[in-house]
């Protein structure tokens, strides 16, 4: 590990316990994670899986009963059959109860079009709604076909114009709402997709639109997906619980209640049935006996919202919950007490800094729509991808990238759990052959090097960093206001430490925005943001297969939905080409070239790779088989049907 000088070590350690400068711009400290809190007005609303709409009296009673907060303490696109599991055998009787602590309980909705970011994933990760497919246990790299859930297989059109899903027969919706059919799949996706439901605020409304033209029923148990644009990431990407998809709801409920009335009815076919859901409080679900796929062992699961990581740790230690995701810095202490870390999801976050505000595309890549963007006057921002203005902004970003002691951050803030320095948000894991082939110091082309085509490792060199920033026209540094790091947690700790050294060594004065994500996200969607944030899109993690098409959220492909504060021509081009490639090696090679440009432009500056896991009590849990998951909702506490208590 590179050692800091005595002065720099002191600055790093001192900065861990405080926010920088003002450090609380727009912050409310109310918790929340990457998924963020929904921007609806449903602050307290009780939801029942069966029966009539909740009355005002029931809502008031649910709010009054809310507990007080705990005290602080890719496969080839060729047509293929998909492996499926046999239905669960009868006779299993669920027993017992389990309570889990999660960081956030979002606003619910049983109507797809109203189920916004967070809700869209919560409904199926919790086991209430089923998806079409799910990953096999411990298939972290996507080497095997996804297991069928409500779908049993699929057939891809040789010209990749459409894909047909074969559906499981005889599945019943909760609460007596009838048999699952193709109409339910069509409704669930079309009501979520902004192409087919322009009013949709579903978490994937903008992501479905460039991919799915529409869904149509071919017969009772067959659905056709008509592509808007084919995407080689395939089933695992948009139709499996591994990532972000649509949970399947009952069209009969919509026909009976209408879009507004359906909000109160989260009706699915999952192994758990909803008892109640109160935003910012808890979700309670009950096991479905003799479930068609697998009958749970545990009869009742309660998910409590506990925003503070220290409180989640305390609840683990006192036995109030059997599972939670405490702060990474607490893992070693909990392991020493006998708790177990469950890393079965295979997920790791590439923590990084998105240098927002660089709008270099004039038209939307896939249809030529004119894009109207206002370029901010910031040292790290340019209004195009050429000329002196561009080069000066790039040199600023390169300078900042050289002024991060990644190895020290792994040892201090990550307490040794990270897998090493990272330099670009979308690079492969550190052990990947592509990364290893670039495991040498980056030498910028302005200094006679090969740029991103050479090494990918930005050497820690404050003097060199200062040279870059001075050459760009900022010898005395500059202010970097309102950097979003979210509520207290790992991103805030990382940016506090980095910013402390940037201020000392470069004169770059950082103030942090620790508000919940929902207050920062609208600017990313509207393309008005120019303040950096700790993150650069959903593909910035090591659980995504590296041959998946990259560049969607860094480009105009994501216009109309979530983006990462930049629209870059070569990112749009990379996604367009890789999405159509049928050869895995060709896809990986193109993504390698994409990473080279990412290193050279320093638009999404990598910091470290942090594992994502839950901590569980082995005195209470006999078995739990978490499935691979890249989506972060419910802090990846998925597949509770596999949970067995002692």
- CATH number of the domain that residue 439 is part of: 3.10.105.10
Q: Is there a domain that residue 634 lies in?
A: no
Do 180 and 268 share a domain, yes or no?
Answer: yes
pLDDT digits (tens, 9 = 90+) for 520-570: 989 999 999 999 999 998 778 888 888 999 999 999 999 988 899 999 999
Q: Is there a domain that residue 35 lies in?
A: no
- Cα 195 from Cα 367, distance rounded (Å): 14
Q: Is there a domain that residue 617 lies in?
A: no
Angstrom distances, CA of residue 473 to CA of 63, 396, 461, 468, 493 = 56, 9, 19, 9, 29
Q: What is the pLDDT of residue 582?
A: 85
Which residues, in sequence order, are CB contacts of 615 under 8 Å at separation 6+?
A: 316, 323, 324, 325, 326, 330, 331, 334, 339, 340, 341, 342
- Cα 291 from Cα 141, distance rounded (Å): 29
Helix, strand counts (H, E) of the chain:
17, 23
- Cα 617 from Cα 639, distance rounded (Å): 17
DSSP lists the bridge partners of residue 167 as 151
Contact 419/429 with Cβ under 8 angstroms? yes
> Quick count: other Cβ atoms within 10 Å of Cβ 43?
10
Do 260 and 374 share a domain, yes or no?
Answer: no
Do 18 and 77 share a domain, yes or no?
Answer: no
Do 170 and 122 share a domain, yes or no?
Answer: yes
Q: What is the pLDDT of residue 631?
A: 86
If DSSP codes are grouped into helix, strand and coil, which group holds residue 274? strand
Contact 274/54 with Cβ under 8 angstroms? no
Do 452 and 490 share a domain, yes or no?
Answer: yes
Do 10 and 105 share a domain, yes or no?
Answer: no
- Cα 356 from Cα 223, distance rounded (Å): 40
pTM of structure:
0.74
Q: Which of 107, 166, 134 is nearest to 243 (CA)?
A: 134
Q: Is there a domain that residue 12 lies in?
A: yes
- Cα 71 from Cα 64, distance rounded (Å): 19
Do 320 and 354 share a domain, yes or no?
Answer: no
Show the domain range for 147: 56-328
Do 311 and 360 share a domain, yes or no?
Answer: no
- Residue at a domain's end among 277, 299, 328: 328
Structural tokens at position 218: 């071919």
Q: Is there a domain that residue 127 lies in?
A: yes
- Cα 548 from Cα 579, distance rounded (Å): 8
Q: Is there a domain that residue 588 lies in?
A: yes
Spans in the chain with pLDDT lower than 70: 1-91
- Residue at a domain's end among 328, 362, 390: 328
Residue 107 sits in a domain of what CATH number? 3.40.190.10
Q: What is the pLDDT of residue 420?
A: 78
Q: Is there a domain that residue 321 lies in?
A: yes
Do 568 and 421 share a domain, yes or no?
Answer: yes
Give how many domains the chain has, as a whole number: 2
- Cα 23 from Cα 6, distance rounded (Å): 25
| Average pLDDT along the chain | 86
pLDDT digits (tens, 9 = 90+) for 112-157: 999 998 999 999 999 999 999 999 999 988 889 999 999 999 999 9
Do 242 and 378 share a domain, yes or no?
Answer: no
Q: What is the pLDDT of residue 91?
A: 52
Do 453 and 561 share a domain, yes or no?
Answer: yes
> Quick count: other Cβ atoms within 10 Å of Cβ 142?
25
Which single residue is written with the structure tokens 């590439």? 350
Do 81 and 175 share a domain, yes or no?
Answer: yes
pLDDT digits (tens, 9 = 90+) for 4-53: 332 343 334 333 333 333 333 333 332 223 322 222 222 222 222 333 22
Q: Is there a domain that residue 536 lies in?
A: yes
- Residue at a domain's end among 328, 361, 383: 328
Which residues, in sequence order, are CB contacts of 581 under 8 Å at separation 6+?
A: 232, 587, 590
């Amino acid at each position: 590990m590179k050692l800091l000088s005595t002065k720099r070590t002191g600055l790093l350690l001192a900065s861990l316990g405080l926010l920088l400068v003002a450090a609380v711009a727009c912050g409310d400290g109310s918790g929340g994670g990457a998924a963020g809190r929904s921007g609806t007005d449903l602050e307290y609303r009780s939801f029942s899986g069966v029966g009539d709409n909740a009355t005002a009296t029931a809502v008031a009673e649910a709010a009054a009963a809310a507990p007080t907060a705990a005290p602080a303490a890719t496969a080839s696109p060729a047509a293929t059959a998909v492996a499926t599991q046999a239905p669960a055998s009868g006779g299993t009787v669920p027993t017992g109860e389990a309570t889990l602590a999660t960081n956030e309980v979002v606003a619910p909705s049983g109507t797809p079009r109203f189920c916004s970011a967070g809700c869209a994933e919560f409904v199926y990760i919790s086991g209430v709604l089923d998806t079409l497919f799910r990953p096999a246990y411990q298939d972290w790299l996507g080497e095997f076909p996804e297991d069928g859930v409500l779908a049993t297989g699929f057939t891809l059109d040789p010209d990749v114009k459409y894909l047909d899903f074969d559906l499981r027969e005889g599945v019943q919706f909760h609460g007596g709402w009838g048999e699952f059919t193709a109409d339910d799949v069509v409704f669930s996706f079309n009501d979520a997709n902004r192409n087919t439901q322009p009013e949709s605020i579903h978490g994937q409304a903008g992501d479905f639109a460039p991919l799915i033209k529409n869904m149509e029923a071919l017969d009772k148990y067959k659905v056709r997906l008509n592509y808007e644009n084919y995407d080689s990431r395939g089933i695992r990407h948009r139709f499996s619980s591994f990532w972000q998809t649509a949970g399947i709801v009952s069209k009969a409920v919509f026909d009976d209640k209408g879009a507004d009335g359906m909000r109160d009815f989260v009706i699915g076919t999952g192994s758990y049935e909803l008892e109640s859901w109160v935003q910012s409080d808890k979700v309670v679900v009950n096991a479905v006996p003799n479930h068609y796929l697998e009958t749970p062992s545990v009869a009742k699961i309660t998910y409590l919202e506990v925003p503070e990581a220290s409180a989640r740790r305390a609840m683990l230690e006192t036995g109030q919950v059997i599972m939670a995701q405490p702060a990474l810095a607490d893992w070693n202490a909990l392991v020493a007490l006998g708790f177990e870390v469950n890393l079965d999801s295979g997920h790791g976050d590439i923590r990084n800094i998105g240098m927002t505000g660089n709008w270099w595309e004039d038209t939307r890549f896939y249809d030529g729509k004119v894009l109207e963007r206002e370029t901010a006057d910031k040292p790290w921002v340019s209004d195009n991808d050429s000329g002196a203005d561009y080069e000066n902004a790039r040199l600023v970003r390169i300078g900042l990238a050289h002024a991060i002691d990644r190895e020290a951050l792994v040892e201090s803030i990550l307490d040794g759990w990270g897998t090493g320095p990272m330099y670009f948000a979308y690079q492969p894991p550190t052990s990947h052959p592509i990364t290893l082939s670039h495991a040498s110091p980056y030498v910028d082309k302005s200094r006679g090097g090969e740029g991103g085509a050479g090494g990918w490792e930005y050497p820690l060199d404050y003097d060199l960093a200062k040279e870059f920033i001075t050459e760009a026209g900022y010898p005395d540094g500059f202010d970097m206001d309102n950097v979003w790091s979210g509520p207290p947690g790992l991103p805030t700790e990382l940016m506090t430490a980095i910013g402390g050294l940037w201020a000392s060594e470069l004169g770059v004065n950082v103030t942090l925005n620790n508000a919940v994500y929902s207050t920062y996200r609208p600017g990313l969607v509207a393309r008005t943001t120019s303040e950096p944030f700790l993150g650069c899109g959903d593909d910035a993690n090591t659980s995504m297969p590296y041959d998946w098409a990259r560049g969607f959220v860094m480009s105009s492909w994501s216009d109309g939905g979530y983006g990462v504060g930049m629209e870059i021509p070569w990112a749009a081009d990379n996604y367009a080409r890789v999405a159509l490639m049928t050869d895995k090696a060709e896809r990986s090679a193109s993504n390698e070239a994409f990473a080279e440009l990412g290193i050279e432009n320093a638009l999404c500056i990598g910091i470290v790779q942090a594992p994502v896991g839950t901590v569980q009590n082995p005195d209470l849990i006999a078995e739990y088989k978490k499935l691979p998951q890249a989506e972060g909702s419910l802090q990846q506490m998925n597949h509770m049907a596999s949970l067995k208590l002692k």
